[in-house]
Chains A and B, each alone.
Chain A
Amino acid sequence: DGGITQSPKYLFRKEGQNVTLSCEQNLNHDAMYWYRQDPGQGLRLIYYSQIVNDFQKGDIAEGYSVSREKKESFPLTVTSAQKNPTAFYLCASSPASLRREQYFGPGTRLTVT
């Protein structure tokens, strides 16, 4: 079945360590996105990519980095520069135009202590 995979579901890290969250899609979508969600809050855009080897910063990109070497994959690295990294991270994808519905993965809950 086509869909978006995020792994792992739960991730624990010590403060000061970089951590990479995985996102893979087999929907043949061109655009991919990363969002952060804090408890009781909406989604905030971290980064997005419309094509391979290109990506743009969202509203809260500081302390995060991404790469888009393959159409299917859009990993997110949470760096030690991110001051409050504990959150729920959602990856999404959509067909070529950004003005379309996005389809989401199951999310990764990151806890940094």
Chain B
Amino acid sequence: AQKITQTQPGMFVQEKEAVTLDCTYDTSDQSYGLFWYKQPSSGEMIFLIYQGSYDEQNATEGRYSLNFQKARKSANLVISASQLGDSAMYFCATYPAGNTPLVFGKGTRLSVIA
């Protein structure tokens, strides 16, 4: 079964600095996808970025980029030029084998310091 591991319960970053949030996954599938979501204190989950296992280039969406290292089974989220509004929980997710819904990691709480 697919498994997502986020080893950093909490992270601090200075405003305007870059930060990397770790995510490793465990799969035997050849075709899979990795997703990152942001959850502000309001509670809503916001989809940030997606990386497919066959995508040759790392995904980027504005200040978000995904450092995808297939051999290491890692899909780390990089946030550049951190802003105070980036303070939130961040979840990594993937889908298990077969046609079943996403499974989520336990999340990393990011705090941006002015």
Contact = CB atoms under 8 A, between A and B. Distances in A.
Interface stretch (A18-26, A60-68, A76-84, A98-106): A98-106
Contact of B44 (A45, A58, A104): A104
B42 A106 contact: yes
Nearest to A104: B45
A105 B44 contact: yes
Interface string B64-101: 00000000000000000000000000010001000111
A88 B107 CA distance: 15
Interface residues of A, number: 23
Contacts of B100: 98
Given A97-B99, A99-B33, A101-B35, A107 B104 contact: no
A42 B106 contact: yes
A74 interface: no
B106 A92 contact: no
Contact of B47 (A43, A101, A105): A101
A97 B105 CA distance: 21
A21 to B, nearest CB: 14
| B interface SS class | loop
B101 A43 contact: no
B101 A102 contact: yes
Contacts of A42: 91, 104-107
B102 interface: yes
B43 interface: yes
A110 interface: no
A45 B43 contact: no
Given A98-B95, A99-B33, A106 B101 contact: no
A112 B45 CA distance: 23
Interface of A: 31, 33, 41-43, 45, 48, 50, 58, 88, 90, 92, 97-99, 101-107, 109
The 3 residue pairs across chains A and B that have the minimum distance between CB atoms: A104-B45, A107-B43, A42-B106
18 contacts: A31-B101, A33-B101, A41-B106, A42-B104, A42-B106, A43-B45, A45-B101, A48-B101, A88-B43, A92-B45, A98-B95, A98-B100, A98-B102, A101-B47, A101-B50, A102-B101, A104-B44, A104-B47
